Amino acid sequence: MIRRDGRQGPPARAWSQPPDQRPLAPRQPQPPRPDHRSGSAHAPTQTPQPYVDPARRRGTPVPPPPPGRRQAPTPPEQPPRPARTRRRPHWGRRIGLVLLIVLVVLGGSVFYLDRSLTRVDALSGYPGRIADTPGTNWLLVGSDSRTGLTPEQEQQLSTGGDVGNGRTDTIMVVHIPESGAATMVSIPRDSYVPIPGNGRDKINAAFAIGGPQLLVQTVEEATGLRMDHYAEIGFGGFAGMVDAIGGVNLCVPYPINDPLAGVNLQPGCQDLTGAEALGFVRSRATPLADLDRMNNQRAFMAALLKKATSLGTLLNPLRVWPLVTKTAGSLQVDENDHLWNLAGLAWAMRGDLVTTTVPVGGFEDTDSGNVLLWDREKASQFFGALAEDKPIPPELLTTN
């Protein structure tokens, strides 16, 4: 049979049969798949990498789109959202507020205490006064003034009642150098020196005759040192400072039994109350009398300053406040001195402190009684070193 298309064979029935009954075309053979285990050619193994949009890389150029293909617009880069932080208490502000309150209170207290200092005209000057010398010089005076003491306190402190014009039991010069340790020099009260306008006499007579001004002039002309500050303390303030810090510890080198000074001490290191410490520095019932008393005064001053500037005192309001108030209420200072000057003095004397006395040349009986003479040559070298702000030569240092 000849078909319509001119080929021989049965007529094509593809148009008349349903699609699902059409005969399947023979499957063409497929090329064999490469065997990965046999080492035949195959695509290399690739490690998956995270996709990063080149447009989001800062500083990375974006490749141009392929030709004929439109690139989707890059969305604008959004700024990073700030991390949420938990609100914490403003401890810094609270601490700052507390410190501000403390400073205000301390500032007001310092101003109040500074005004409570008794001021005297001690350093106003005199014709021909010596020029300023380097370093800082203090004249410290311990007087036997009974001002402010009740009769009961006078009896307790064994002051001996009224003695008329004030006298000085203690005269010290403290030299604070530009660098190095401070030097505390005891000047014996019986030192026989020229007193301006009054001839030669015991140095403590200058205070009785002309008060602080004449004493300052006498000390300056005898030593060649110009005084920058002046401080004077009486019996009551002296004992009150000691009691304010709970007493001081002193090593008594020998027994002291002196009813006139109101003290009876045995040898050895011990804590002394205000009354006992006052008797310790006043007593002359010792082998060397006034010379021993000067040694005791320097030892006491060192112990008092050590205790007053210790952390146990400075960090204890129950001690530091009574100490400051007692000191401010019992001191007499020059018109230009302030509480912070006194604090600087105490701070300079808290550590290494050279303690000594004027070189002594001997004793002599005069119209003023038995007096103490300075070794003129050694005293000139002694005070000359301080006037030049230099350490005193070791061979000139003495404790007697």
Q: Is residue 70 part of a domain?
A: no
- What is the per-residue pLDDT for 14? 47
Q: Count up the domains in the chain and report the number.
A: 1
Q: Is the pLDDT of residue 23 over 70?
A: no
Higher pLDDT, 344 or 92: 344
Burial class (CB in 10 A: 0-12, 13-18, 19+), 43: exposed
Lowest mean pLDDT across 13-22, 87-96, 183-192:
13-22
pLDDT bracket for residue 239 (50, 70, 90): confident
**Contacts with 262 (C-beta within 8 Å, 6 or more apart), sequence order:** 156, 157, 158, 275, 278, 279
For residue range 376-394, what is the model confidence (pLDDT) as tens digits? 999 999 999 999 999 999 9
**106 domain-assigned:** no
- Total-model pTM: 0.67
Residue 373 lies in a domain: yes
Encode pLDDT of 94-130 as tens digits: 666 555 555 555 555 677 788 878 899 999 888 999 9
Structural domain contains residue 21: no
Specify if 52 maps to a domain.
Answer: no
Residue 44 belongs to a domain: no
Whether pLDDT at 170 is above 50: yes
Distance (Å) of CA 376 to CA 174, 199, 222, 381, 394: 20, 18, 10, 9, 17
Q: In this model, does residue 277 exceed pLDDT 50?
A: yes
What the block records as the tokens of 354 is 């050279």
| CATH number for position 297 | 3.40.630.190
